[in-house]
Amino acid sequence: MDLNFFCKELPKIELHAHLNGSLSQATMLQLQRYYVDAGISDKTNTFLDEFQIGAGDTRNLSECFQVFSIAHSLTSTSEALVMATELTLQEFQEDGCCYIELRSTPRDTQYITKKQYIDSIIRAMEKPSINLSIISKLIISINRASQLQEVEEIADIAIERHKIHPDTVVGIELSGNPAVGNFGDFIPALNRARQSGLKVTLHCGEVCNPEEVLEMLNFKPERIGHGVCIHPKYGGTEETWIALCQSKIPVEVCLTSNVNTKITPDYESHHFKELIEAGLSVVLCTDDKGVFATSLSQEYRLCAESFALTRIQVAKLSLDAAQCIFSEANIRELIIGKILKFMNDYT
Ligand code: 6MZ
């Protein structure tokens, strides 16, 4: 079986995808059309071509955070959010993804409140207007640039919505420009969320900040995202690397995101290799498939090509990812069954 086809057909699990960064050009065009039809005409002249940060782009990680405002201008009403969520889930499904934990940062817009923002995504996940077989869950994001009052407000919303929709709202996470804010300031809100039953994942080591990495690993999140600057070879220290290896915290790895934002020079020198050699759980993810013009199956293919993985090793990555989901054991068993069936049919 051709590698492209294999990576697409393999039932996959996405655990690190930001909704607004995942919008494809096709979805953004549909959203633009919705705004025109709804008579909200100021959304029609957003510069969609500036949204993508491809391989040769000169923009760095800090500059990359400016592009999200383009997507944000297209997800400001309930209807648009429902549409954005459904179309994005459909694209993941068509790419062979059977389970996704989509994440998004609630915003007050001109038209809706933060609660309405989250409720729109939950509605699209629980009662989609299109036929979706993908299992979808929501992780609520806190942006590191937020004021503390807003952080507490988002934690309250996450706790409340988790209580009402325990099977949909499964986690809380910290993201945004890693050069902004101090992790310590977010600990009280994250602890409250955790005590209410939400799982925690943190963007950790996306830039070099060994003290913060140690603080984050000490917090014992259920997963971390990126984990680039943890190994000494990539800007971490012996101490941060030992702390990660001892913690055995699974790492959500986003190859193309790291390469295109120039945190990592090329695919072959990605820290994926060190993580695997250390026996850590690695989950291949897209981060922002719209911004970085990628897909989950493409990430699997690039990983297989860059590290000369066999088909069985590639399938095993998906199986390992199933162990790291925030949902209950029955869902884990269900997706493991799908992956094993695929492996069985393939071999
Ligand atoms: C850190 C990122 C990110 O939440 O509006 N986000 N945070 N590192 C990254 N690496 C490239 N990519 C995206 O989706 C967009 C938001 O996700 C976070 C940023 O806060 C961005 O504004 P939502 O759906």
- Interacting residues of 298 by C-beta distance below 8 A, sequence separation 6+: 7, 256
| Residue 321 CA from chain centroid, whole number | 13
Smallest CA separation from ligand 1 atom 22, residue: 68
Mutate to test the pocket of ligand 1, among 24, 59, 65 (most ligand atoms within 8 A of CB): 65
Reported pTM: 0.98
Contact 55, 259 (CB under 8 A): yes
ipTM beyond cut 0.90: yes
User: Which of 182, 174, 197, 146 is CA-nearest to residue 18?
Assistant: 174
Cβ of 20 less than 6 Å from ligand 1:
yes
- CB neighbours of residue 209 within 10 Å: 20
- CB neighbours of residue 211 within 10 Å: 12
- Sheet containing 223-226, strands listed edge to edge, beginning at the edge strand earlier in sequence: 12-18, 97-104, 135-143, 169-175, 199-204, 223-226, 251-253, 282-284
pLDDT at 288: 98
What the block records as the tokens of 43 is 């959304």
Active site residues: 206
Cβ of 76 less than 6 Å from ligand 1:
no
pLDDT at 58: 81
pLDDT at 126: 98
Cβ of 120 less than 6 Å from ligand 1:
no
Cβ of 104 less than 6 Å from ligand 1:
yes
Determine the Cα–Cα distance for residues 40 and 226; give it in Å rounded to an integer: 37
- Give SS3 for 18: strand
Q: Which atom of ligand 1 is nearest to the CA of 288?
A: 12
What the block records as the tokens of 7 is 């990576």
**Mind listing the pLDDT tens digit of every residue in the chain (347 residues)?**
899 999 999 999 999 999 999 999 999 999 999 999 999 866 656 677 788 898 888 888 888 898 999 999 999 999 999 999 999 999 999 999 999 999 999 999 999 999 999 999 999 999 999 999 999 999 999 999 999 999 999 999 999 999 999 999 999 999 999 999 999 999 999 999 999 999 999 999 999 999 999 999 999 999 999 999 999 999 999 999 999 999 999 999 999 999 999 999 999 999 999 999 999 999 999 999 999 999 999 999 999 999 999 999 999 999 999 999 999 999 999 999 999 999 999 87
How much distance in Å is there from the Cα of 54 to the middle of ligand 1? Answer: 16
How much distance in Å is there from the Cα of 175 to the middle of ligand 1? Answer: 6
* DSSP at 171: E
Cβ of 258 less than 6 Å from ligand 1:
no
pLDDT at 1: 83
Contact 332, 170 (CB under 8 A): no
Q: Which atom of ligand 1 is nearest to the CA of 206?
A: 8
Contact 291, 59 (CB under 8 A): no
How much distance in Å is there from the Cα of 347 to the middle of ligand 1? Answer: 38
Cβ of 286 less than 6 Å from ligand 1:
no
E strands present in the chain: 12-18, 97-104, 135-143, 169-175, 199-204, 223-226, 251-253, 282-284
- How do strand 135-143 and strand 282-284 relate by DSSP bridges? unpaired
At 172, give phi and psi (nearest 5°).
-135, 150
Determine the Cα–Cα distance for residues 309 and 281; give it in Å rounded to an integer: 16
How much distance in Å is there from the Cα of 190 to the middle of ligand 1? Answer: 18
Cβ of 292 less than 6 Å from ligand 1:
no
Instruction: Find tokens 């955790």 and name the residue.
Output: 194
E strands present in 237-313: 251-253, 282-284
Cβ of 35 less than 6 Å from ligand 1:
no
How much distance in Å is there from the Cα of 68 to the middle of ligand 1? Answer: 7
Smallest CA separation from ligand 1 atom 9, residue: 176
